[in-house]
Amino acid sequence: VIDIGLPEHSKVTTCAYCGVGCSFKAEMRGEEVVRMVPWKDGKANRGHSCVKGRFAWGYATHRDRILNPMIREKITDPWREVSWEEAFAHTARELRRIQHQYGREAIGGITSSRCTNEETYLVQKLVRAGFRNNNVDTCARVCHSPTGYGLGQAFGTSAGTQDFDSVEDTDVMIVIGANPTDGHPVFASRMKKRLRQGARLIVIDPRRIDLVRTPHVEAAHHLPLKPGTNVAVLTAMAHVIVTEGLCDERFIRERCDWSEFEDWAAFVAEERHGPEATAAYTGVDAEALRQAARLFATGGNGAIYYGLGVTEHSQGSTAVMALANLAMATGNIGRRGVGVNPLRGQNNVQGSCDMGSFPHELPGYRHISGDETRQIFEKLWGVELDSEPGLRIPNMLDAAVHGNFRGLYVQGEDILQSDPDTKHVAAGLAAMECVIVHDLFLNETANYAHVFLPGSTFLEKDGTFTNAERRINRVRKVMSPKNGYADWEVTLKLAEALGLDWSYRHPSEIMDEIAATTPSFAGVNYAMLDQKGSVQWPCNASVPDGTPIMHIDGFVRGRGKFIRTEYVATDEKTGPRFPLLLTTGRILSQYNVGAQTRRTANSTWHAEDRLEVHPHDAEQRGIRDGELVKLASRSGATALRARITDRVATGVVYTTFHHPDTQANVITTDYTDWATNCPEYKVTAVQVSPANGP
């Protein structure tokens, strides 16, 4: 029994890991957290949590945290601790020097999906009003940017359509490219509860995830597709629904553009899109696919849940649009129990996109070229804004190597470890003259930094996170920032050093500005959040209590848009040298690149990443279970231990990417989604061999 002592006081706040957004009561003794208790009134979790959230406070007090600002002239120099004042003055001087020398476009910033809405808003404001360009991007670039594009095209807004409660009325679930049991455990429990009550499940995934067969739950269909063929499989399902007359014609006539539907229906009805024609390259049995499509179209309320296995492909945006097509064709939009629901990986990836983190969009997904929108911000911020979209992250790195891009402010993202093609990222960072890393720990990107600004944890600040169901949850400060400043204050001080006149005294004032400039947030303020607990956007005068379910009477864009989804095979091909396909995912106890979870009590669980290899492929290569193997691709090579399992199909290998030693992104390619540049993390041609072999 561990004596944790009695808590003296507590505050309700929000987990800073995944997009479920669980509410916790942080129980404190003085400034010390003694435990995190799942909050029974939390609307996203209703008193439940997973192991990550329960121990999340561990990293806040970890000895690895950097608490003092540091600067250095060259990245080969040792770090020198300086005062905050010197750090801000030095950084501002360097950024202005670079702009003077190389031009206004020579610097940019990256917002973090781990930080609050208010902090994200400030970073994009700093770039637009302080740097005077639109070179701002977000770590959502590498995960759900195709969701933003695809759902925006089909429905008119870049967000999941439902609330989590809606699953209670679902009769048929499609889970594609997601592993909720590990990635979104609290919501997975609600899915399983509904499945135990009799809802049917279709899993579309190269790997046999836990949901396929778990106590008292068995998927009606598991379609183990070859990685990279989502669009072909979804279009084949649409083919069955259209050619067998299973479309919801009444819904389509009332809610969608009929002529676009007819065009799309004729396209998917072509024989080349059918299950038999596509089976050879998708690997999905034609009859199983037919039955799954029929079940989704006729089984009652149909809901789609998806994750990065959909978005992180060269056709990520196309696959999101294919999901929207399926939902509209079967009338599964605009009521409880249905919808298209991205399971967001990071706690505030929805919020970081909402807050204008993309180089072409101001807060609220409004294009930067729109004069009226720009004028709202120009009037408030007192500057003229550039109407041209800025650079995305990969373009910033390209411009550093080949052009004049020389300065980057990175808040809360380790781009060297989490972005694709590590060599390209390193080359871009190395070419810059002022890389500012604003983070909790000296991460991999900090190896290329000239300024390190210590970050603060979710326990040390006030603000809001927006979860996967568009729910705006309060984050409450339960302890003083150990580094002296919350992240929003660091950006504020940097802005002041750059000569901007910002006067926020509390994050609530930033939210008031967001509400004043962003129609979907117009009704949001801290007093209301404290009273209601949370609210789902849009929340404004028309919907003062928020919007649990979107597109009830009409789509945000007016009529729903059916879009042709032509399957185009990825350029990443297997061949004699690299005959297997690598795909990646997560485990329950760890979170993304593990910077936080490896510094909590979870660290003893699953202390290394493993490579899952099918027994047949292992035997062919003489690989034994637990043996160290070499994993090589056209991009690079790494080593990790093998786990022999038939969870993966022959020809497919799988690993997690939580540990820096694994260096998964040394392996991945630089192919990206055609619309958004989201990296194709989920398909890499590889070879696996015993590490001590020839």
Binding site for ligand SF4 (CB under 6 A): 15, 17-18, 20-22, 45, 49-50, 52-53, 184-186
Q: Which residues contact 694 (CB under 8 A, 6 or more apart)?
A: none
Closest to ligand SF4 by CB, 184 or 207: 184
How near is the Cβ of 351 to ligand SF4 at its closest, in Å?
A: 14
CB of 179 to ligand SF4, least distance (A): 13
| Element at 119 (helix H, strand E) | helix 117-125
Q: 44 or 237, CB closer to ligand SF4? A: 44
Closest distance between ligand SF4 and the C-beta of residue 17, in Å?
Answer: 3
Instruction: Please give the backbone phi and psi of residue 466, each rounded to the nearest 5 degrees, phi first.
Output: -115, 120
Strands 451-454 and 70-71: antiparallel
Residue 235 or 467: the one with the smaller Cβ distance to ligand SF4 is 467
Residues in the chain: 694
Strands 471-475 and 580-585: unpaired
CB-wise, 39 or 267, nearer to ligand SF4?
39
Minimum CB separation from ligand SF4 for residue 19, in Å? Answer: 7
- CB nearer to ligand SF4: give 184 or 682: 184
User: 580-585 and 652-656 as β-strands: parallel, antiparallel, unpaired?
Assistant: parallel
Identity of the residue, 22 or 279, whose beta carbon is nearer to ligand SF4 in the bound complex: 22
Q: How far is the CB of 586 from ligand SF4 (least distance, A)?
A: 10
Q: CB–CB of 71/82 below 8 Å?
A: yes
Tokens 């120009």 sit on residue: 378
Using DSSP's 3-state secondary structure scheme, residue 366 falls into strand
To ligand SF4, the closest distance from the beta carbon of 361 in angstroms equals 26
Q: Check: CB of residue 451 under 8 Å from CB of residue 73.
A: no
- What 3-state DSSP class applies to 649? coil
Q: Rank residues 94 and 182 by Cβ distance to ligand SF4 and give the closer one.
A: 182
Cα separation values, 502 from 266, 489, 506, Å: 56, 11, 12
- Say if residue 300 is exposed, middle or buried (CB neighbours under 10 Å; 0-12, 13-18, 19+): middle
- 45 vs 330, beta carbon nearer ligand SF4: 45
Give the pairing of strands 434-439 and 451-454.
parallel
In the complex, least distance from residue 592 CB atom to ligand SF4, rounded to whole angstroms: 11
Token pair belonging to 642: 């093998």
Whole-angstrom distance, CA of residue 248 vs CA of residue 251: 6
Closer of 251 and 305 to ligand SF4 (Cβ): 305
Q: How far is the CB of 39 from ligand SF4 (least distance, A)?
A: 11
Evaluate whether 341 touches 160 at the Cβ level (below 8 Å).
yes
Identity at 346, one-letter amino acid code:
Q
CB of 413 to ligand SF4, least distance (A): 18
Q: What does the alpha-carbon distance between residue 361 and residue 517 come to, in Å, rounded to a whole number?
A: 13
Exposed, middle or buried, 606 (CB in 10 Å: 0-12/13-18/19+)? middle
- What's the distance, CA 622 to chain centroid? 37
User: 185 vs 523, which CB is nearer to ligand SF4?
Assistant: 185
Do residues 205 and 174 touch, judged by C-beta distance below 8 A? no
Closest of 510, 419, 391 to residue 462, by C-alpha? 510
* Least separation in angstroms between CB 186 and ligand SF4: 4
Question: Taken in order 576, 578, 583, 588, is the CA torsion positive or negative?
Answer: positive
**Residue whose CB is nearest to ligand SF4 in the complex, by number:** 53
Residue number, 211 or 563, with CB nearest to ligand SF4: 211
